[in-house]
Amino acid sequence: MASVKTAISIQENLFEQVETLADELNVSRSRVFVLAVEAFIRQHKNRQLLAAINLAYDDLPDPTEQTNREKMRRQHRDLLEGEW
């Protein structure tokens, strides 16, 4: 895959932390940034997926329907108990 060069501006203390981490991992500064961006994108996609899943399961009935369901359950239970 082709690489693209880019320039960013960061605070000096963050730059120093990246330098230290690159030395500890024995990788280039560029690699540290690539790893960080990949992790950020993965985390963002996971948050989007979680939001979509939560939205799909967020279809609880409104209070009126919930009340009607409870009444139907009680009536059904009363009918069944009367037969046994």
Q: What is the pLDDT of residue 60?
A: 78
83 vs 43, which has greater pLDDT?
43
What lies within 8 Å, CB to CB, of 60 at 6+ separation is 66
Q: What is the mean pLDDT of the chain?
A: 92
The tens digit of pLDDT for each residue in 28-61 reads: 999 999 999 999 999 999 999 999 999 888 877 7
Q: Is residue 27 part of a domain?
A: yes
In a domain, 7, yes or no: no
Residue 20 lies in a domain: yes
**Range of the structural domain that residue 57 is part of:** 12-83
Whether 43 maps to a domain, the answer reads yes
Instruction: Indicate the residue type of 50.
Output: L
Q: Is residue 65 part of a domain?
A: yes
Structure tokens of 78?
A: 């009363």
What residues contact residue 8 under an 8 Å CB cut-off, 6+ apart?
33
Q: How far apart are CA 20 and CA 26, in angstroms?
A: 10
pLDDT at 83: 64
Domain total of the chain: 1
